[in-house]
Chain A
Amino acid sequence: MQLDSKVPGGPLAEKWDRHRFELKLVNPANKRKYNIIVVGTGLAGSSASATLAELGYNIKAFCIQDSPRRAHSIAAQGGINAAKNYPNDGDSIWRLFYDTIKGGDFRSREANTYRLAQVSDNIIDQCVAQGVPFARDYGGLLANRSFGGAQVSRTFYCRGQTGQQLLLGAYSSLSRQIAAGKVKMFPRREMVELVVINGKAKGIVVRNLITGEFESHDADAVVLATGGYGNVYYLSTNATSCNVGAAFRAYKKGALFANPCYTQIHPTCIPHSGEYQSKLTLMSESLRNDGRVWVPKNAGDKRRPNDIPESERDYYLERKYPSFGNLAPRDIASRSAKEMCDAGRGVGPTGYAVYLDFKEAIERDGIDIVRKKYGNLFDMYENIIDDNPYETPMMIYPASHYTMGGLWVDYNLMSNIEGLFVLGEANFSDHGANRLGASALMQGLADGYFIIPYTIGGYLAGTGPSEFDADHPAFNDATKQADECIKKLLAIKGKRTADNIHRDSGHIMWEYCGMARTEEGLKKALMLIQDLREEFWQNVLVPGSDRDYNLSLQKAGRVADYLEFAELMITDALAREESCGGHFREEYKTEEGEAKRDDENFCHVAAWEYGGYGKAPIFHKEPLTFENVELSQRSYK
Chain B
Amino acid sequence: MTQETKTINITLKVWRQKGPKEKGRFETIHVKDIETHMSFLEMLDVVNERLTLEGKEPIEFDNDCREGICGMCGAVVNGIAHGPEKGMTLCQLHMRKFCDGDIIAVEPWRARAFKVVKDLIVDRSPLDKIIQAGGFVSTIAGGAQDGNAIPISQEIAEKAMDAAACIGCGACVAACPNASAMLFVGAKISQLALLPQGKPEAARRALSMLRKMDELGFGNCSNETECEAVCPKEISIANIARFNREFLKAGFGSSER
Chain A residues at the B interface, C-beta cutoff of 8 Å: 47, 50-51, 54, 65-70, 72, 74-75, 84, 86, 122, 124-131, 133-142, 158-159, 161, 164-165, 168, 171-173, 175-176, 178-179, 185, 187, 210, 239-241, 273-274, 276-279, 281-282, 348-349, 383-387, 395, 449-450, 453, 495, 497, 499-500, 541, 543-544, 548-552
Contacts and interface: CB of A to CB of B under 8 A. Distances in A.
Contact of A349 (B5, B56, B133, B198): B5
Interface in B138-196: 138-148, 150-154, 157, 160-161, 164-165, 167-168, 191-192, 195
A276 B157 contact: no
Interface in B66-108: 66-67, 69-72, 88, 92, 94, 96
9 contacts: A133-B195, A138-B154, A140-B151, A142-B147, A161-B69, A172-B137, A387-B2, A549-B117, A549-B121
Given A72-B65, A384-B94, A176 B136 contact: yes
B164 A72 contact: no
A276 B148 contact: no
A162 to B, nearest CB: 11
B90 to A, nearest CB: 13
B168 to A, nearest CB: 6
Given A172-B137, A549-B121, A348 B67 contact: no
B125 interface: yes
A179 B201 CA distance: 15
Given A175-B135, A395-B1, A386 B141 contact: no
A165 B154 CA distance: 17
Contacts of B154: 136-138, 140
A84 B147 contact: yes
Given A172-B131, A552-B52, 8 more contacts: A67-B125, A68-B128, A128-B150, A131-B195, A131-B198, A136-B152, A175-B135, A544-B57
B29 interface: no
B161 A276 contact: no
Contacts of B71: 69-70
A66 B131 contact: no
B232 to A, nearest CB: 12
Interface stretch (B8-16, B40-48, B217-225, B242-250): B40-48
A133 B136 CA distance: 13
Contact of B66 (A50, A278, A543): A278
Contacts of A273: 1, 37
B49 interface: yes
Nearest to B36: A386
Interface of B: 1-3, 5, 35, 37-39, 41-42, 45-46, 48-49, 51-53, 55-58, 60, 62-67, 69-72, 88, 92, 94, 96, 117-118, 121, 123-125, 127-128, 131-133, 135-148, 150-154, 157, 160-161, 164-165, 167-168, 191-192, 195, 197-198
Nearest to A48: B141
A503 B185 CA distance: 40
A128 B94 contact: no
A54 B192 CA distance: 21
Nearest to B146: A125
A128 B132 CA distance: 20
Contacts of A136: 151-154, 157
B148 A75 contact: no
A549 B45 contact: no
B148 A141 contact: yes
Contacts of A134: 147, 157
A129 B199 CA distance: 12
A50 B138 CA distance: 11
Contacts of A176: 132, 136, 138
Contacts of A277: 42
Contact of A276 (B35, B60, B137): B35
A66 B63 contact: no
Contacts of B41: 278
A141 B167 CA distance: 26
A632 B55 CA distance: 59
Given A173-B136, A175-B136, A497-B53, A449 B141 contact: yes
Nearest to B163: A133
Nearest to B127: A67
Contacts of A240: 63-66
Contacts of A50: 141
B16 to A, nearest CB: 13
A278 B164 contact: no
B98 to A, nearest CB: 13
A199 B56 CA distance: 45
A133 B157 contact: yes
B194 to A, nearest CB: 9
Contacts of A135: 157, 161
Given A86-B148, A128-B197, A140-B153, A173 B88 contact: no
A274 B168 contact: no
A273 B2 CA distance: 12
A66 to B, nearest CB: 6
Contact of B38 (A67, A168, A171, A276): A276
Given A126-B141, A159-B161, A168-B164, A65 B70 contact: yes
Nearest to B165: A161
Contacts of A551: 58, 60
B197 A278 contact: no
A439 B205 CA distance: 33
Contacts of A131: 136-137, 160, 191-192, 195, 197-198
